[in-house]
Amino acid sequence: MAFLFGPVSSRRLGLSLGIDLLPPKICTFDCIYCEIGRTTLRTARRKEYVPTSGVLKEAENYLQSKAAKIDYVTVTASGEPTLHSKVGDIVSRLKDVSPKPVAVITNSSLLHLPEVRQALLKADVILPSLDAVRPDTFRRINRPIRSIRIEEIISGLKDLRQEYTGQIWLEILFVQGINDRPEEVEEMREALQAIQPDRIQLNTVDRPPAEDYAAPLSSARLETIREVLGERAEVIVDFKRRIQQGFRPIVESEILAMLARRPCTAEDISGLLNVSPDEISAVMESLIKKHRAQYKTYDQRVFYIIPELTLELGRKRL
């Protein structure tokens, strides 16, 4: 599948069929914690990066036969999905053909544009992010393209709340020593009171980040922040994977497609593909020997990545 991936187990959305609207690493941000590495094209230009007709054809074919296996259809990207100029058409058509709810994940960077907000209104759930309120912290953690200002993002989130009747689940990803200081958390609380999301979902670094200095918060610190942010706040925990009885034959291409989008542990792959852990280990060893995969240790866990992800870390942003 060129534009679909998964279903993948999501901490927020259960089993989710992902729809990828961009080529890899095209984004408005270059976040220090990004699990797929450095952004190679940082831009705010909206266009039809991949063919809308191809995306919808793949999605419709899948949903006709396999929709019962998923909880959500999730519009996302290996970058920022609202950069795709036809995202509204895609969301609208998915709502017509999908028996399951449609979610959109966004970094919120373009929500100040009325046409972007309008494009998302038919989604069942919008999952925006907001990692900082202070301009200097925003630039440090998200490294946005120069034209994007945090004040516009917050304003766009407020406008979205006024215009959108569905669920808004806002994610904040905390990085140790950068956006977790008490005064910053208090300013975030004030901003969230104005934005009024239905849920506030607290996250931290849990996979190899783009920058090695992007360190995670402890569970205790996240819990303290949750208490400050109030009753709508929750700490996101790992989804308990639903592994069916019996394993199916392994397909290398599926593993490589997963790794192209995010680093994965053997346990991740086992749960997502319903393949025995022993088989995963054997196949990964083979892929490493063939130089089609690599591994990286992070937080005492072994993550598998494809070599291109490693190479991209050092490339200069355009």
pLDDT, tens only, 110-155: 999 999 999 999 999 999 999 999 999 999 999 999 999 999 999 9
Ramachandran quadrant class, 5 (left: phi over 0; alpha: psi -120 to 50; beta: rest) = beta
Query: Residue 316 — very low, low, confident or very high, per pLDDT cuts 50/70/90?
Result: very low
**195 vs 175: CA distance, rounded Å:** 22
- Nearest Cα residue to 127 out of 8, 216, 11: 11
Per-residue pLDDT for 102 more than 80?
A: yes
Mean pLDDT to the nearest integer, 297-317: 63
Per-residue pLDDT for 201 more than 60?
A: yes
List, as one string, the DSSP characters of the chain: --SEEEEEEETTTEEEEEEE-SSTTEES---TT-TT---SEE----B-SS-HHHHHHHHHHHHHHHGGG-SEEEEE-SB-GGGBTTHHHHHHHHHHH-SS-EEEEE-STTTTSHHHHHHHTT-SEEEEB---SSHHHHHHHH---TT--HHHHHHHHHHHHHH--SEEEEEEEE-TTTS-SHHHHHHHHHHHHHH--SEEEEEE--S--SSTT-PPPPHHHHHHHHHHH-TTEEE-------PPSS-----HHHHHHHHHHS-B-HHHHHHHHT--HHHHHHHHHHHHHTTS-EEEEETTEEEEE-HHHHHHTTSPP-
Architecture of the domain whose range is 4-240: Alpha-Beta Barrel (3.20)
How do the domains of the chain map onto residue ranges? 4-240, 254-318
Where is pLDDT greater, at 199 or 10? 199
List the CATH code of the domain at 254-318: 1.10.10.10
Percent above pLDDT 90 for the chain: 59
Query: Residue 274 — very low, low, confident or very high, per pLDDT cuts 50/70/90?
Result: low
Where is pLDDT greater, at 256 or 237? 256
List, as one string, the DSSP characters of 81-148: GGGBTTHHHHHHHHHHH-SS-EEEEE-STTTTSHHHHHHHTT-SEEEEB---SSHHHHHHHH---TT-
Lowest mean pLDDT segment, chosen from 23-37, 172-186, 261-275 = 261-275
Token pair for residue 7?
């279903």
Q: Which residues pair with 39 in a beta bridge?
A: none
